[in-house]
Structures are given as C-alpha cells and as structure tokens.
Amino acid sequence: MRILRHLIGWIAVVWLAAPSLSPSPRAQSQEAGSATLPRVFLYATGGTISNRTGGRLTVDELIKTLPNLDQRVRAEGEQFSNVASTALTLDQWLELSRRINDRFKKDAGLSGVVVTTGTDTLEELAYFLHLTVRDERPVVVVGSMRDPSTTGYEGPANLEDGFRVAADPAARGLGTLVVLNDEINSARDVTKTDSHRLDTFDSRSYGVLGRVIDRVMIVRKPVRRHTAQSEFDVASIKALPRVDVILTYQGAPADLIRASVDAGAKGIVMAGAGAAALSGNQREGTDYAVEKGVFIVSTTRTGSGNIAVGRGNATSRRISGDDLQPVKARILLMLALTRTEQPEEIQRIFREY
C-alpha cells in the first residue's frame, strides 16, 4: 500500500511539472483570429506576373510572395493555366467562368475570388467575367507590367491589393474589378493605355471606382447590368460564335469585311473613325454582311465616346455599340448571339450592359 501511494504521488508530480498539452491563451487567440479572417480563392492563369526567367511562378509560389498575407486573409489557390494572356482560348474563358460560378455556388463562406493574368488582354478576360460570373461577391483580376526577374517587379503589391479588395465587403455588388497600381477599376470601363508604364490601366473619362490605400476606398459604383444581374449563363453555352473586329482607316477596303463574312463570322464590330464613320468602300462591305445575316456593331477607334443608337438601324442588323471599346463590344456581341438573333433584343443588350 505504501508503494502504491508513492507511485501515485510520483505520477501526480510528473503530470503537474509537464508542459501543458492545451494551447496557450496567445495561441488560442491566434487560432481564433485566423478562423475569422475572410477567405479568398486565387485562380492563376499565367501572364507577366508569373513569367520569371527560368520558368513561371506557380499559384503556390505567387501566394508565398506575400509573407504577411495570412494576417489579412486565408488564401487558397488553383493553377488554372500558366500561359500568356493572348494564349488563353475562348473555351478556357468559358471554363474559368464556370469554375468560379461553381465555387461561389458551393462555398457560401467564400468572400471573393482573385484571378491573375497577363495585362495584354486582361481587360477582355475581366469584362467576360463581369458579364458571366453570376454572384454578388467580387472577382478581382490582377497582373503586372514587370516580370519577377525585373527590378521594380510590382506583382506582389498588385496581388496583395487584389486579395484585400476581394476580401472587403465594400467590393460586393461591384462586379468584376481590375486592380493594379493601387487603383480599382470596373472591368467594363478600364482599358490598357500604354505598352510599358505601370499606370497603364485607365477608365477614361469615367475614372476609378476606388483606391487601395490604408483601406479599400470605394468612391463610385457601376450602374450597368453585370454579374448577379446578368442574363448570360455559361453553363448553357457550349461555344462562343465568331465575331471579328475591323478597323476603319483612310481608304479602307470592303474585301476584309467580305472575307470575315465568308469565313463564318456571325458578327463584325467596326472600330470606326470619330463617331463610327467608315472610309473607302467599307459601306459596301457592311451592306454585304447585313445581306448575309451578319450583325454590324458600330464603335469608335478614338478610345472614348459613345455611338448614338440612331446611328445604327437595329431592324437591319446594324447595332450601336454605345460607349464600349471595340474589343469589349465584340465580347458582348458574342454573348448576345448565344441568347438571341433578334436585332431589337441585341440593341437592348448593348443599352443595358
């Protein structure tokens, strides 16, 4: 009995002296804090932001360029692709939009999504997602003008800003956003304006939606239909119809328009001079297109300004592109043609989006 009492006492002393197996109050606090951080999912598609000398950064490596990110958000990621933005196909656009829609549908606790891509066609992918991701939560598209092997590489700063915006409740309902150079722009309005400068993305006369400074600051909101209010459902779209963009210039020929029609285009966006003026014998080309049942959308090559609805004649398949840049009018027409071939309906779509 005496030996048993000594043994029990010895066990008690050892147990009291041993380090606690329970987390310390500080560790418990850190764990609880991490659990309350917003969750953001990153789809990496490639582009200059990942294009270092000797090989492209993976999605995990991109996240690791942000050592303090875990203090702001809980980040996850997927390597969707790892190519230049110009190498992405329209089928990949559809697939990416489907994946984002599916993730939002299955994960109600997700705060937002970030997409990395190359800046050359960033505005096109962003606008496509703006029209086809049907959720109030933000999709933020980011990239960089300098690659990871270059002095002054700004990729991590843009990526961190993208995560911050995607995680912020103020970004809900704004559609797809383009975040670079500490600025927040609407995917509908923004365009690349310079081949090298860091402040290349600009929303023309409309201005930024906001900025990323000590906080995410939103100063205006888009009013056109997008995302959660969009009628375009990628789940039912098998392929996007061919739509070409043709530029107006002095003495431009009609044969380029005819060639586009004969090659199977369902629509042509004319990037016209001034308020959509044509030159040379381009009018003969657009007449040929309309006779063949092809839609002609009038836009301006100037970079800003709208085309009055009266400029086109919707009953004859001549549509006003409103104030959309030619490459974005192409995207909207491709999606519109998956819904209808009624000229009045397509003109409505250009008014509303």
pLDDT digits (tens, 9 = 90+) for 314-338: 568 999 999 999 999 999 999 999 9
Domain that holds residue 291: 242-352
Domain edge (last residue) among 164, 197, 229 = 229
Lowest mean pLDDT of 119-133, 173-187, 307-321, name the range. Answer: 307-321
Q: Which of 229, 253, 268 is the last residue of a domain?
A: 229
pLDDT for position 197: 98
pLDDT tens-digit readout, 23-45: 554 444 445 556 799 999 999 99
As a whole number of angstroms, the distance between CA 280 and CA 273 comes to 12
CATH of the domain at 306: 3.40.50.40
Closest alpha carbon to 140 in 38, 43, 36, 39: 43
Residue 140 sits at φ, ψ, to 5 deg, of -115, 120
Residues 297, 245: contact at Cβ < 8 Å?
Answer: no
> pLDDT tens for residues 222-259?
999 999 999 999 999 999 999 999 999 999 999 999 99
Q: Where are the alpha helices (DSSP H) in the chain?
A: 2-17, 25-36, 59-64, 90-106, 122-132, 155-167, 255-262, 282-291, 326-337, 343-352
CATH number where 207 lies: 3.40.50.1170
To which H or E segment does residue 296 belong? strand 295-300
Residue among 55, 322, 335, 320 nearest 189 (CA): 322
The pLDDT value given to residue 35: 75
Name the domain count of the chain. Answer: 2
Please state, in angstroms and rounded to a whole number, the distance separating the CA atoms of residues 28 and 302. 59
Q: What is the DSSP letter of 343?
A: H
Could you tell me if 38 and 152 lie in one domain? yes
Catalytic, 176? Answer no
In a domain, 173, yes or no: yes
pLDDT at 316: 87
Active-site residue, selected from the candidate residues 48, 132, 227, 300: 48
